[in-house]
Amino acid sequence: MMDTPTEHNPAPGSAKPAKKEDSFPVFVLKLAVIVILFRSFVFAPFYIPSESMLPRLLNGDYLLLAKWPYGYSRKSLPMGVPLLPESRVLASTPERGDVVVFKAPPLGEQDWIKRVIGLPGDTVQMKGGQLWLNGKPVPKEQLAPFDVPVSPNTHCLSTAFEAKDAAGQDVCRYPRFKETLPGGRSYEVLDLYNKPSDDTPPFVVPEGHLFLMGDNRDNSEDSRFPAEVGGGIGFVPIDNVIGRATVMMWSTDGAAEWLKPWTWFTAARWDRIGGTF
């Protein structure tokens, strides 16, 4: 008696062909596409190269930037690949107090990071080192000084700020304050000394633009200064915003050496990793 075809005994010629596996180059190509899409539309890394955002961000911090909160434009894509329009799609306006990465005017090529202070229609002014928003002073509370250890990534702005901490380590000790925006959003700033930028005319933020400032108020080229090469950024178009800072993924004091792997760990600022914004 002949066997009838069953699930365990298929009829001749009915077996499914084996699935063809991708070649290594195809696998690499697929992986590259996934990475590019993820970096373009979900998260992207960003390195802090300066001290303009002290005390929140240190030179040598690496953070993750969320790409979706404000929508997408051509500037959202790596190297400005022209796959999206110049104007933003799925657009949303940042909130006051957000820390954002953007393409800085006037050239719109370099990625900068600042805090959103003024929204379209707001009037922003500095008086005697105090921030004023829409004709009212933003509450400013003095805190304990901010100490940042001296390292290859960090040097004191002047000898006036050189100090020692309780353990005898060299630090830069800066005057620190807390500002509280309308709505209750608070953050810390540094106010080091009197400068011309502590007293400004009122700035009325145009439609479709933002007024951005560094938290290190006396060491930041920002919207208080005209947009010019080697200078400030003026009002920043919202379409220039790439994304919002979300979480700290790594931080180093700059002492690591490639040929000394153990320094990769000793140079890490472990206590900063995982901090959110």
**Which residues are catalytic, by number?**
52, 114
Q: What are 142's strand-pairing partners?
A: 177
Nearest to 118 by CA among 230, 233, 195: 233
Query: How far is the C-alpha of 156 from the C-alpha of 189, rounded, in Å?
Result: 16
Q: What 3-state class would DSSP assign to 29? A: helix
Please answer whether residues 264 and 255 qualify as being in contact, where contact means their C-beta atoms are separated by less than 8 angstroms.
no
Which residue has tokens 């050496």? 257
Q: What are phi and psi of 249, to 5 degrees?
A: -105, -15
CA 86 to each of CA 38, 49, 82, 229, 234: distance values in angstroms, whole numbers, following the listed order = 20, 27, 8, 22, 20
Q: Is residue 188 classed exposed, middle or buried when 0-12, 13-18 and 19+ CB atoms within 10 A define those classes?
A: middle
CA distance from start to end of the chain: 75
Amino acid letter, residue 52: S
